[in-house]
Amino acid sequence: MFSFSQLVFGLCFFIVFVCIIILSYRTDKKKQPAYFKGSYKILLGFLVAFSLLLLIKFMTQK
Domain, as residue range, for 39: 4-60
What was the pLDDT predicted at 11? Answer: 96
Q: Is the pLDDT of residue 51 over 90?
A: yes
What was the pLDDT predicted at 6? Answer: 95
Query: Furthest-apart CA pair in the chain: how many Å?
Result: 50
pLDDT tens for 16-44 read: 999 999 999 899 988 988 888 888 899 89
Whole-model pTM over 0.75: no
**C-alpha torsion sign, points 17, 14, 41, 45:** positive
Q: Is the pLDDT of residue 62 over 80?
A: no
